[in-house]
Amino acid sequence: MSKGSIQSVTKALNILELFTEKPAWSIAEIGEKLLFPSSTAHRLVITLEEAGYLYREQETKKYYLTIKPYLIGSKTETVSQLEKQAQRVIQLLAQEINESVNVSIAQGIYAVTVLKANPERKFSAVPNIGDKRQLHATSVGKCLLAFNSNGCYDQLMNSKEPLRAYNNRTLTDRNLIGESLKTVRENGFAIDREEVEEGLTCFGAPIFDEMRHCIAAISISVPTFRIENEKVFIDKVVDTALEISSKF
């Protein structure tokens, strides 16, 4: 460590870097991992929480990254290219089908919304830009997992943290999730049948770059009561994903 460095800042950054290994840490685990005294670990974690970089899950008392680190890096090359190549395309799709369309990327075991196009109708579905949900339950997340975008499949399968059950439709068994992703790879699309939000069905498809790496996924979010023919939405989301991919 150089003479000009500030040790507390370095230690805080070391804590943030721990979240590349797994999504949730207790203060005790952080102190043990980084060999910090418990008082030091507690003080640094509370500071990061107050600054908006960490939040504590009330049930487990463990800490997670907030969306703030993502927002700081939201102008990375991938996100900038997605904004350039996909925003107009998804806006046209949203207008055509009059439903919400969004694009998400993988961040750890989460799918983070980076682009969204709203329909003209007043009642449109979530999520909003910056929202994140665990990958296993969403249509975009299933696509990102199926094609191991940014190594997210390995992270989710190797994580010791229990997967969140958003409701009684959410699949949380990792073995069953792994089996279901084979179908996503074969079909080239995924469906979230009210597995996150009651009354909301989402149709997702992967977006690839020129090296055939899955860099993102697109989703159409539709209130279930408005769905008359699923194939219409499946065809639209797959075709749009292919169009965006071709731009790379």
CATH code, domain carrying 12: 1.10.10.10
Q: How far apart are CA 235 and CA 147, in angstroms?
A: 19
For the entire predicted model, the pTM comes to 0.71
User: In this structure, which amino acid lies at residue 13?
Assistant: L
Q: Is 201 found in the same domain as 146?
A: yes
Q: How far apart are CA 91 and CA 111, in angstroms?
A: 20
Q: Which of 121-135, 144-158, 211-225 has the highest mean pLDDT?
A: 211-225
Nearest CA-CA partner of 141 in 151, 152, 128: 152
Range of the domain at 42: 7-66
Lowest mean pLDDT among 74-78, 102-106, 154-158: 74-78
Q: How far apart are CA 128 and CA 112, in angstroms?
A: 9
Whether the per-residue pLDDT at 91 is higher than 50: the answer is yes
Backbone angles phi, psi at 18, to 5 degrees: -60, -30
Strand order of the sheet with strand 110-117?
132-134, 110-117, 100-107, 214-223, 200-208, 190-193
Q: Which of 50, 66, 82 is a domain's end point? A: 66
Q: How far apart are CA 43 and CA 172, in angstroms?
A: 34
Question: Can you give the pLDDT at residue 74?
Answer: 54
Q: Is 191 found in the same domain as 167?
A: yes
Q: Is 192 found in the same domain as 93?
A: yes
Q: Which of 53-62, 130-139, 174-183 has the highest mean pLDDT?
A: 174-183
Whether the per-residue pLDDT at 3 is higher than 80: the answer is no
Question: Can you give the pLDDT at residue 1?
Answer: 47
Question: Can you give the pLDDT at residue 127?
Answer: 72
CATH code, domain carrying 209: 3.30.450.40
Residue 1 maps to a domain: no
- Confidence class of residue 69 from pLDDT cuts 50, 70 and 90? confident
